[in-house]
Structure formats: C-alpha cells, structure tokens
Amino acid sequence: MSTALSITLIVILLSILGGLIRILRGPSPAERMLAAQLFGTASVAMLLILSHLMAMPALLDVALVFALLAAVTLVCFVVLAEEERR
C-alpha cells in the first residue's frame, strides 16, 4: 500500500514538473498563472499522501493553508490583470 502511494507521489511530482514548460514558454500571464494553480492543487494532493505516509496529521493543516492561499493568489492575479486591461 505504501509503495503504491509513494509511486503515486512520484507520478504527481513528474506530472506537475511537465507544467514548468508552460510557465517558461508562456506566452501569456494567464497560462503561467494557471500552471502555478496546477502546482498548488498537486501540492495539496502530495501533502495529503505524505501526511498518511509519514504519519503526520499536522500536514493536513499545511494542505489546508495551501488550498486557501492559492485561491487568494488567483483572485489577486485576476483582479490586477483586469485593472491593467482597462
């Protein structure tokens, strides 16, 4: 069971590292920001798996803070991008 979870962890990490290409190549800020959001969501998933694997329930709090602040960063991006367009 724990081996399967570890492999899942590696697959998630590899899959989001693929998203780095989108961030480096862009070209528009929205694409880069969405790739960053993908990283945030995947990090939450990885934290949930790690909290089980490492037997650290405190990691659930870290995942909670991640999920919360990722949304705030996204709102910040959208609002500022909207202001810039006007």
Binding site for other proteins (CB under 8 A): 3, 6-7, 9-10, 13-14, 17, 20, 23-24, 26, 29, 32-33, 35-36, 39-40, 43, 46-47, 50, 53-54, 56, 58-59, 61-62, 64-66, 68-73, 75-80, 82-84, 86
Q: In angstroms, what is the minimal distance from the CB of 5 to other proteins?
A: 9
Q: How many residues does the chain have?
A: 86
Q: In angstroms, what is the minimal distance from the CB of 16 to other proteins?
A: 9
CB–CB of 6/53 below 8 Å? yes
How far is residue 24's CA from residue 5's CA, in Å, rounded to a whole number? 30
How far is residue 47's CA from residue 32's CA, in Å, rounded to a whole number? 23
